[in-house]
Amino acid sequence: MLAQQVAKKYSHALFQLAVEKNMVDAAWDQFNSLADFLKKDKTFLDFMTAPQISDQKKDALVKKVFEPRLDRVLFDFLMFLVEKRRIRFLPEIIEAFDLMVRAHKGIARATCITAEKITDDERRKLVEKLAEKTSLKIELKERIDKSILGGMIIILRDQIIDGSIRYGLNQLKNRLMKVKVH
């Protein structure tokens, strides 16, 4: 819960600054690259959160690695996170920032879970239907889960649309369990 609160607060501040400086796209690109780096190399955050390592060494590492690679605003933001000892929340901050930028651009991420890979035509129709319903540009992520048996589950923002056969069978089972037999 703390991570989400910190992420929301800091990402909002960064987003406001990026809008003010007219650098939302640049910040988004650089933060996506930073997110990829953090996913590939866990040692950076381990180093930055280790209590036995001095603040000076942490500052020096951030300066050496990120100062030449990031816009000044983002570099200063990272240094601020280090100073405030909030760098451990960087992945959550990046995720929250990403969601804010997507909302700002009218983009929504949807996840489609199916038992088998969907066709290009099914994908296109699904994206069109979701875009029509939400008035947003849809970025579809697909996942295969054989346990749903068939049909599909759509996750869009905080909404889950479960049209899987497994769900339907469970609903039928629950209704049958309620039936009184005399």
53, 77, 103: which is the final residue of a domain? 103
- Asked, for residue 173, whether it belongs to a domain, the answer is no
**pLDDT attached to residue 150:** 83
Please check whether residues 71 and 152 belong to one and the same domain. no
- Asked, for residue 180, whether it belongs to a domain, the answer is no
Residue closest to 142 by CA, chosen among 157, 167, 120: 120
**pLDDT attached to residue 63:** 93
**pLDDT attached to residue 173:** 82
DSSP letter, residue 161:
E
DSSP letter, residue 141:
E
Look at residue 13 and tell me whether its pLDDT is greater than 90.
yes
**pLDDT attached to residue 94:** 94
DSSP-derived 3-state class of residue 162: strand
- Asked, for residue 87, whether it belongs to a domain, the answer is yes
- Asked, for residue 171, whether it belongs to a domain, the answer is no
Tell me how far CA of residue 141 lies from CA of 41, 113, 118, 123, 162, in angstroms: 24, 9, 12, 10, 16
Query: Quick one: CA dihedral 100, 105, 111, 117, positive or negative?
Result: negative
Looking at per-residue pLDDT, the higher value among 141 and 181 belongs to 141
- Asked, for residue 77, whether it belongs to a domain, the answer is yes
Please check whether residues 7 and 74 belong to one and the same domain. yes
pLDDT in tens, 58-90: 999 999 999 999 999 999 999 999 999 999 999
Please check whether residues 70 and 21 belong to one and the same domain. yes
Please check whether residues 52 and 140 belong to one and the same domain. no
Rounded to an integer, the average pLDDT of 15-26 is 93
Please check whether residues 85 and 155 belong to one and the same domain. no
Could you count the other beta carbons within 10 Å of the beta carbon of residue 98? 17
β-pairing verdict for 159-164 and 137-144: unpaired
Please check whether residues 77 and 113 belong to one and the same domain. no
Please check whether residues 60 and 14 belong to one and the same domain. yes
- Asked, for residue 177, whether it belongs to a domain, the answer is no
Please check whether residues 6 and 84 belong to one and the same domain. yes
- Angle, to 10 degrees, between the axis of helix 72-83 and the axis of helix 55-66? 160
Tokens of 35: 């997110």
Looking at per-residue pLDDT, the higher value among 25 and 179 belongs to 25
Please check whether residues 29 and 118 belong to one and the same domain. no
Look at residue 158 and tell me whether its pLDDT is greater than 80.
no
Looking at per-residue pLDDT, the higher value among 170 and 26 belongs to 26
Helix, strand and coil percent figures for the chain, each rounded to 5: 65, 15, 20
Query: Quick one: CA dihedral 84, 92, 21, 59, positive or negative?
Result: positive
Look at the chain and report how many structural domains it folds into: 2
Please check whether residues 62 and 8 belong to one and the same domain. yes
Look at residue 182 and tell me whether its pLDDT is greater than 80.
no
The CATH number given to whatever domain includes residue 72 is 1.10.520.20
| Domain assignment of residue 41, given as a range | 2-103
Please check whether residues 80 and 145 belong to one and the same domain. no
- Asked, for residue 43, whether it belongs to a domain, the answer is yes
Q: Put the strands of the sheet holding 151-156 in their side by side order.
A: 137-144, 107-114, 151-156, 159-164
